[in-house]
């Protein structure tokens, strides 16, 4: 019986496959740093190196490869037990999933739906975990970042809820500012009472 290779999808759009660029050079450097990190198997170094490789893949529009690297980085961050690192990786995973969904728009609805579901899962996990980070100002930035991803995914209600949570952290309950109205104002929409 003749050998039949498995069907594969390219890592990135064909028009970018062989172009030399600064992004490719950065990917080579990140891969070299990952090789060094793999030699020592230090969880923090592995997490940082994998995240950098993923960022380079995203710059090359290779979102699936970026998502795979980030999944490995998340496992290393969880091994490390560092909430800050796990939250950052979850945000990157949510952004990569959203980019995958946007890339699949109009072509493969099952693939797009799966990417949107993964994006939401990562975004909600980041929002749940962000209360454990060391810097309260960064907590606000993460909530707004995740809110933006959810809004891009069409999850407008959850996006506004996270914006409200960020507003409460920024201004506190004593300001008398209704967080829903403030979040709607930040999003450029108005909330009308019936």
Structural domain includes residue 176: no
Q: Is 48 a domain residue? A: yes
Q: Given this model, what pLDDT does residue 182 score?
A: 54
Q: What are the pLDDT digits (tens) for 132-170? A: 998 989 999 999 999 999 999 999 999 999 999 999 999
Q: Three-class SS of residue 153?
A: coil
The angle formed by the CA atoms of residues 11, 17 and 21, to the nearest 5 degrees, is 115
- In angstroms, the CA 73 to CA 92 distance is 10
At residue 186, the pLDDT reads: 56
pLDDT score at 192: 47
Instruction: Tell me if 89 sits within 8 A of 70, measured CB to CB.
Output: yes
Q: Where are the alpha helices (DSSP H) in the chain?
A: 22-40, 43-59, 63-80, 83-103, 109-129, 136-152, 156-171, 179-187
2 domain residue, yes or no? no
Between CA 182 and CA 167 the distance in angstroms is 7
Is residue 161 a part of any domain in this protein?
Answer: no
Q: How many CB atoms lie within 10 A of CB 194?
A: 2
Q: How long, in residues, is the chain?
A: 194
Distances (CA, A) of 56 to 43, 44, 91: 20, 19, 16
**The model's pTM:** 0.79
CB 138 within 8 A of CB 146: no
Q: How many domains does the chain have?
A: 1
Q: Would residue 67 count as lying in a domain?
A: yes
Q: Which domain holds residue 42?
A: 22-81
- The list of the chain residues with pLDDT below 70 reads 1-20, 173-194
Does residue 33 lie in a domain region? yes
Residue 44 placed within a domain: yes
pLDDT of residue 7: 52
Residue 154 lies in a domain: no
Half-sphere exposure of 47 (CA within 13 A, CB side): 21
């Amino acid at each position: 019986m003749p050998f039949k290779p498995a069907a594969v999808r390219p890592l990135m759009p064909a028009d970018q496959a062989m172009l030399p660029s600064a992004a490719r050079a950065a990917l080579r450097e990140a891969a070299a740093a990952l090789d060094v990190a793999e030699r020592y198997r230090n969880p923090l170094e592995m997490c940082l190196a994998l995240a950098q490789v993923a960022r380079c893949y995203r710059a090359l529009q290779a979102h699936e490869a970026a998502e795979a690297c980030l999944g490995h980085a998340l496992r290393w961050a969880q091994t490390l037990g560092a909430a800050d690192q796990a939250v950052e990786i979850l945000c990157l995973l949510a952004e990569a999933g959203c980019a995958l969904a946007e890339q699949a728009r109009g072509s493969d609805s099952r693939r797009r739906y799966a990417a949107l579901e993964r994006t939401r899962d990562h975004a909600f996990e980041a929002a749940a975990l962000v209360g454990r980070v060391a810097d309260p100002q960064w907590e606000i930035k993460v909530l707004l970042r995740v809110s933006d991803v959810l809004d891009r995914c069409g999850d407008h209600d959850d996006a506004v809820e996270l914006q409200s949570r960020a507003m409460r952290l920024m201004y506190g309950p004593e300001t008398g500012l209704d967080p829903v109205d403030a979040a709607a104002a930040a999003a450029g929409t108005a909330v009308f009472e019936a």
